[in-house]
Structure 1
Amino acid sequence: MKSSFAPALILFICLLLVTAPAFTQVGINTTNPRTTLEVAGNAEITGSLSIGNYDPLADGEASTFLIQDENDNEEIKTLDVSNPTGAALAYVQEYIITNPDQDWVRDFDTGVDASEFVLITISSYFDLELNTSSSSGAEDNSSLPYTATFISGGTWHIIADYPMVANLDPSATGTWTISTLIFSKDLSKQLGSIDIPMLNSTTGSAVTPILD
C-alpha cells in the first residue's frame, strides 16, 4: 500500500508557493498591518539596518523626521514638520510692531528662551516715508534698515532702526514687519563661542576652521 503523505506534502508546499505572493503585508503584534511590515510595539536591532533610496516627495506629500527622545536615549520618535504646534527643526515667526518711537525700536522682548532657542532676523521693513535731514545735500543720502537680536535677561530681544533718519511726518503711526527664524538648540549643533583677538587690525583669520 502506497503512502499518500508525500503527495499531500508536495501539494501543500505548492499551494504555499502559489498563495505566498498574495500576502505581502506582515504584522507583528497586529492582525491588520498597514504596510509591508508593521511592528506594534518596541523593536531592537543589534545588527546593521540598510535603508534604500526613496522617490522624491510629490506635491501634497509631507516629510517626517526620526529623532532620538531627549528624555529616553533608547527611544526614537517621529518629528512631524507639517504640524504647526509640534516640535520642529526651526520656526518662522513674523512680528508686526506698530507705533514705535518714530522708526526706532530700541528693545523688544520676544520672550523666547535663549537657553532653548536661537533667534535671528531674516527680513524687515518699515512702512513710512523717512526724512534724512534738512541740511544741504542730505537729500542725496540714504539709510539702510538695521535689525538685530540680542540676549537680555535670558530671552531674545530685537532692535530695529533706520540710523540717522526719522519719520517724514513725526506724528504718523509707523509699523515694523520683522521676520525671524528660530532654531531649537536640541535639534541643531551648538558650536559654542570663539574669542577673536584682532590686535588693533582690520583683518583676521581663524586659527582652525569651525567646520572642515
Structure 2
Amino acid sequence: MILRTLSLLRSLQGAHHTATDAQARIQQACDYRWLRRQLGHGVVGARQTSLADGTPAVSVVLPFVATPARRRGGRWPQDPDERERCFVEGAHACRAAGAPGYRKLESLSQGLAQGGMAILKDAARFQYLLDQQALRLSWRRSGTLPPDLARQLGRHLPDGDAERHGLFLLTLKVPASLPEGSPNGAWLDGCLDRYRRILPTPAG
C-alpha cells in the first residue's frame, strides 16, 4: 500500500520527489482538512485586514479552551501577562490548537485512500495560507477580550473552562469579503481557490 501511495503521488508531482516530500504534502492536506472542519465554531473577527502580499482579507477567529494538555504543546510562559504577548504562527499554530500530527505510515496510507489529486489540492491551499502568513495562535484571558468578540465566542465555549484555563484563539486570514452567514469549509475553499488562481506563477 505504501509503495502504491508513493507511486501515485510521484506520478502527479514528478519522479524526483521523495517519500519525505510526499509525507509533507499529505500532512499539509491533513492540516487543511482539520482547519476546514473547525470553521463551524469560528466567528468573524477583523472585517478589514490584509495578507502578507497586501491582498484584502477578513479574519476568522477559532476559539479553543487552553487546557493544560494543549499548553504543554508549546513553551507558554507561566505569567499570564507575558503569555498574552506570545503567539505561534503557521502550521505550528494548528498543531498547538490541537490539529493531529500523523506518523509517516499512517499519512501515506491515508493519502492513498483519499486520492492523490485531492491531497495535492488541499496541500496547495494550506501552502497558500502559510505563504501569506495567514495563521496565528495566541492565548487570551476571557476577561481581556474585546466585548463584541467575547460575546460571539461565548456562544461556542463553556464559561467555566474558558475562565479557568484561558483561550487559545487561532486567527485565520481569508482573502475575501464578509461571508453571507457563518464561515464554513466550502466558503474557505472557494476564497482560496479564487485568489490562488490570480497570483502570478513563480519564475522557474
TM-score with structure 2 length normalisation? 0.25
Higher relative contact order (Cα pairs below 8 Å, separated by 6+ residues): 2
TM-score with structure 1 length normalisation? 0.24
Greater strand share, 1 or 2?
1
Greater helix share, 1 or 2?
2
Question: Which structure has the greater CA radius of gyration?
Answer: 1
